[in-house]
Chain A
Amino acid sequence: MTFEEIKRQATAEWESIEQHQIPVIRIGTATSDRASGALEVVEAFENELARLPVEAKIIQTGSVGFCNYEPLVIISKPEYPRICYKNVTPDMVPRLVEGFLLEDDPCMEFALGTLEGGNGSPPYIPELPRSEHELRLLLRNCGFIDAENIDHYIALGGYSALSKALEMTPYEIVEEIKRSGLRGRGGAGFPTGRKLESCLKARENPKYVICNADEGDPGAFMDRVVLESDPQAVLEGMIITGYALNSSQGYIYTRMEYPLAVKRLKTAIEQAKQRGLLGEDILGTGFNFRIEVFQGAGAFICGESSALMYSIEGKRGFPRVRPPRSIEAGLWHKPTQLNNVKTFACIPVIIGQGSEYFSNIGSPRSKGTAVFALAGKVENVGLVEVPMGTTLEKVVYDIGGGVKDGKRFKGVQIGGPSGGCLPEAFLNTPIDFDSLTEAGAMMGSGGMIVMDEENCMVDAARFFLDFTQKESCGKCVMCRLGTKQMLSILEDIVSGQGKPEDMEQLINLGEDIMAGSLCGLGRSAPNPVLTTVRYFREEYEAHILEKRCPALVCRDLIAYYIIPEKCYRGCEHCVLSCPSEAIVEHPKRFKVVDQSKCVKCGNCLEVCPPEYNAVVKLSPVSELPSSDLPIKDEK
């Protein structure tokens, strides 16, 4: 089949839905949607539609990425704008079906807003303030198309870039990508066009194309959403790259913790093959390209390119020295082009709409958009996509809706365990590769965690270092033993055994590990520690010199205390909630926490009725009234 024929067929399929006379109900069923109960909502709709005399089509889509509003349902009824409903539960479904589909009440009390765009162009909800600042380019199809139906992707413009590319020369494709200014979205931000050019020039064959979908940063889930919601975009990017390099084999290395992504990728590959867009003789040009999905076995280091390639070869993921670079000698010592999921998803946009379209977005040295997984203490948790150059403040406040529960902003962690924590003073930093690196953070793969006054920065540093230390491959001395030593110091600090010289020790050791490690994991592991020591020094000093945790987090430095005057006396909530029987009754009938038994779980604070609010956390422990201090010589 020619591409025109494929497109015609797909468009017909799409129009049978869109140019509808019957309503269409889109329900997101990616992983985070399912965790919120989306499948039960699907079932509820199916039941209602069977029960009532109303016809409608249900499409299960990927995720729009508005995680705090999931399960999200978009209903398109003829003569009405598309309406997006938030936090839909099975109980709401009868109302929606009867009220809106059967009658004419759009139930706006359940709605987030109306949906504009989609259909191939960046979607947005005009009623939401965030829409002014976002540009959902890479995410244009997410939540809108059925990720398991290739016709939807094609009807909205998919694979026209491939069709165009197959009539260009490899050199022209590389030049176009260079002109776009695309920089790798996996973290380091290396210019993709230059990397491609070097790989093209490499003399050896065969060449390989690898998509790094091993999104290992804890707290990052952008790649997962793209893979579960618009997998064809990634495939198309890989096929175009393969064509440019005259490669015939591609791999997508995914984490095994993403089973739905793996499933949808495999379905997407099958469907692309059936249409002649992948596999043998692509679109009749004689170009062959196969893509295999390889599942990782759980090792953060396998997000490092040389370790990833060794993993595909069936080996331990020990990174190797460079030279040689992977573009000259990568997988099985052959030239290999490795890129992140989002980088590949950008390629159809660049080839399809032209490099100028892409380079007109963003800032001078960072083109295009940035996709972030915004999480933590922020209202609107989920995916955010902004033009490069947008400030952190816009992302956290205008798009993210600001800090939850009226708490105070403390910092934002960008770049996961390889990145840094930036304080309030840096909120006007533009989001681009160079500005973030200058500030000490890192664009990274796109995780952005907002922290408030109840997060302890020392504990955050310890958390990240604990992660990198456990995930270190162990090959080189600096990282294997250096991160272990740094972690030992941090553990002493959070448990009240820190020494005044510890901050200098952390800085010196951190700098040496950054300069002397073999690979990127070791070189960036000290980042969270170094940035927090730099920007939140007072917190470290409080922990070390006063044995105090200002955020009331570090358990060896805090105590739970029940204020006698506030305790209701007749109430037993806290006693019943305590897992270690640490709450006893004072002769005057108010409750007291037995510090020697308290495990600091926080249950009592959670269950004390709001009208009493008798339970508080104190730090340092010496703040406790003497009667409450732990009895050390019990029994």
Chain B
Amino acid sequence: MEGVVEELAEILALCERDRSRLIPILQRVQDAFGYLPKEALLEVASYLGMTDVQIYGVASFYNHFRFTPLGKHPIQMCMGTACHMVGGRLVLEALERALDIEVGGITEDRELSLDRVACIGCCGLAPVMVIGEKIYPKMSPAKVDEALVNLKIKAQEAAKD
């Protein structure tokens, strides 16, 4: 994966070379690649004069950092209290069935991935599902199919443009 090292070099050049900046640096790397490729971790370690063990130790502590890619359209189900109280878990299970993957997984064509997300603070609209940056309020198992179909249509339209 040669592209990774080059693109990474550009990103790192903009970052302060201080190990206290590790988390912001990892965030930039993940923003660029959608996840933290192994090569990137080694490069960051080298850049900061740290060991790969230390970098991995920090990155693996936090929920946000991933070591495998997200789907093109990442689906996230809010796991906040209000969402749970009105049946959020049932929506999550409906998504698992509809996509035929488990939470944390990705569809074979890498288009859709499914994860839980920590409370995003829209409790009045529970249960809340997020796809990409769009928030889907007041979800229910019955609405899952419709949402996925609409997503597909929008994706096809976007592909045509």
Contact = CB atoms under 8 A, between A and B. Distances in A.
Interface of A: 31-32, 34-36, 67-68, 70, 215-221, 224, 255-258, 294-300, 311-317, 373, 375-377, 381-382, 413, 416, 447, 449, 451, 455, 460, 463-464, 467, 473, 577, 579-580, 599-603, 606-607
Given A299-B62, A375-B126, A311 B81 contact: no
A449 B84 CA distance: 11
26 contacts: A32-B121, A35-B125, A215-B121, A216-B118, A218-B81, A219-B119, A220-B119, A257-B117, A295-B23, A297-B64, A297-B65, A299-B63, A311-B23, A375-B82, A375-B123, A375-B124, A376-B123, A381-B82, A413-B81, A473-B61, A579-B97, A601-B90, A601-B93, A601-B94, A603-B141, A606-B142
A31 B126 CA distance: 14
Given A602-B141, A606-B140, A606-B142, A297 B121 contact: no
Contacts of B98: 579
B112 interface: no
B26 interface: yes
A32 B125 contact: yes
A312 B82 contact: no
A32 B122 contact: yes
B85 interface: yes
Contacts of A224: 121
Contacts, number: 147
Nearest to B61: A316
Interface stretch (B2-10, B14-22, B103-111): B14-22
Interface of B: 19-24, 26-27, 57-58, 61-65, 79-85, 87, 90, 93-94, 97-98, 117-126, 128, 135, 137, 140-142
Nearest to A316: B61
A257 B93 CA distance: 23
Given A32-B124, A220-B119, A577-B142, 11 more contacts: A31-B122, A218-B79, A219-B80, A219-B81, A221-B122, A256-B27, A297-B63, A297-B65, A314-B20, A315-B58, A375-B124
A66 to B, nearest CB: 9
Contact of B57 (A219, A316, A599): A316
Contact of A300 (B94, B118, B141): B118
Contacts of A217: 81, 119
Contacts of B87: 602
Contacts of A449: 81-82, 85
Given A256-B64, A449-B81, A67 B124 contact: yes
Contacts of B122: 31-32, 35, 67, 221
A315 B26 CA distance: 12
Nearest to B125: A35
B82 A376 contact: yes
Given A219-B119, A300-B118, A316-B58, A463 B81 contact: yes
A299 B62 CA distance: 5
The secondary structure that dominates the B interface is helix
Contacts of B81: 217-219, 375-376, 413, 416, 447, 449, 463-464
A314 B19 contact: yes
B92 to A, nearest CB: 11
B121 A312 contact: no
Nearest to A417: B81
A221 B141 contact: no
A413 B94 CA distance: 27
A460 B85 CA distance: 8
A599 B93 contact: yes
Contact of A258 (B83, B97, B121): B121
Nearest to A464: B81
A460 B20 CA distance: 38
Contacts of B65: 297-298
A447 B82 CA distance: 10
B20 A34 contact: no
Contacts of A600: 90
Contacts of B124: 32, 67-68, 70, 375, 381-382
A70 B90 CA distance: 26
Contacts of A416: 81
The 6 closest A-B pairs by CB, nearest first: A67-B124, A298-B63, A221-B121, A219-B81, A314-B22, A297-B62
Contacts of B93: 599, 601
Nearest to A67: B124
Contacts of A316: 57-58, 61
Contacts of B126: 375
Contacts of A255: 118
B142 A218 contact: no
B5 to A, nearest CB: 22
A217 B82 CA distance: 11
A103 B12 CA distance: 59
Contacts of B24: 294-295
Contacts of B61: 299, 316-317, 473
Contacts of B90: 600-602
Contacts of B125: 32, 35-36, 67
Contacts of A599: 93, 97
Contacts of B20: 312-314
Kindly name the residue among B26, B80, B135 whose own CB sees the greatest number of chain A CB atoms within 10 A. Answer: B80
A313 B24 CA distance: 11
Contacts of B63: 297-299
Nearest to B65: A297
A295 to B, nearest CB: 6
Given A258-B121, A451-B85, A463-B81, A298 B137 contact: no
B81 to A, nearest CB: 3
Nearest to B133: A259
B128 A35 contact: yes
B97 A580 contact: yes
Nearest to A473: B61
B123 A67 contact: yes
Contact of B142 (A215, A373, A377, A603): A603
A373 B119 CA distance: 13
A36 B126 CA distance: 11
Nearest to B119: A218
Contact of B123 (A294, A381, A455): A381
Given A35-B128, A35-B135, A599-B97, A298 B121 contact: no
B23 A314 contact: yes
A294 B25 CA distance: 12
Nearest to B62: A297
Given A221-B121, A256-B64, A607 B137 contact: no
